[in-house]
Structure 1
Amino acid sequence: NQVIFALNQTLLQQESVRAGSLQVSYTTEDLIKHYNCGDLNSIIFNHDTSQVPNFNNVTLRPSEQITAQEIDSYFRQELIYKRNDRMGNRVKALMEEHPDNSFFFAFGAVPLAVRTDAGDEKQVQGVNI
């Protein structure tokens, strides 16, 4: 079962971090520092941005690696791409429903930038988001 596999891998990863045998790729402090310095490329674009454990590792059996890849792909699709689509659609709908109102939307560009497919940008009132 994929759910049990994911839970076991998450627990194993957290236990390894707690025991000191595994280092997280970056900390919240690193993220804040790089954000304030205007250099998110070195910390974000070089790492997984889905904010879920990476289940795919070399200690897994081949069948487990396939399961891990499927889970990683699922989380990336659900937590990044579909979220971005929903966010863009909500912004667009608000602007279309209230064309005479002014809006200020604040969200990070990094979550929107991870989508690399051409033509997947949302256009809101002539502005790509």
Structure 2
Amino acid sequence: MAHYQKSLAAAVVLNTAISAVEAASGFGSGSLSLIMDAAHNLSDEMALIFLYLAFILSQGVSRNLLRIANLFNSLGLIAISCLLVWQAVERFLHPVAIQGVIPIVVGTAAAAANWGVAWLLLGPGR
């Protein structure tokens, strides 16, 4: 069980780094796609944190508390999705130029890091 907690903690740290780099690069380059992926990774990160807490507190946490945590995670994801759809419509109506190399490089690095997160979670997922 302790090995799984370490893998999960490492996945949380890596996912935090992915989200931070994508958000900073997205705002810096004006890339809405990087900002959207950062928000998506943030929701993944919240799910990983809740899973990590479930591992740690598995003896004393009720099922209702876990359901409430999942509900808040889902509501947050819906709110972020609505905000990003609104921003996408704004961008469609009023396009802005972005620095194209930055989203390509950061997106490729984020995809590789997401594979790293998946590899870290391979053990606890079995």
- Is the TM value for this pair above 0.5? no
Q: Please state which structure has a larger fraction of its residues in helix.
A: 2
Please classify the TM superposition score into its range, dividing by the shorter chain length.
Answer: 0.3 to 0.5
Bigger Cα Rg: 1
Q: TM-score, normalised by structure 2?
A: 0.38
Give the TM-score taking structure 1 as reference length.
Answer: 0.37
Higher RCO structure (Cα 8 Å, ≥6 apart): 2
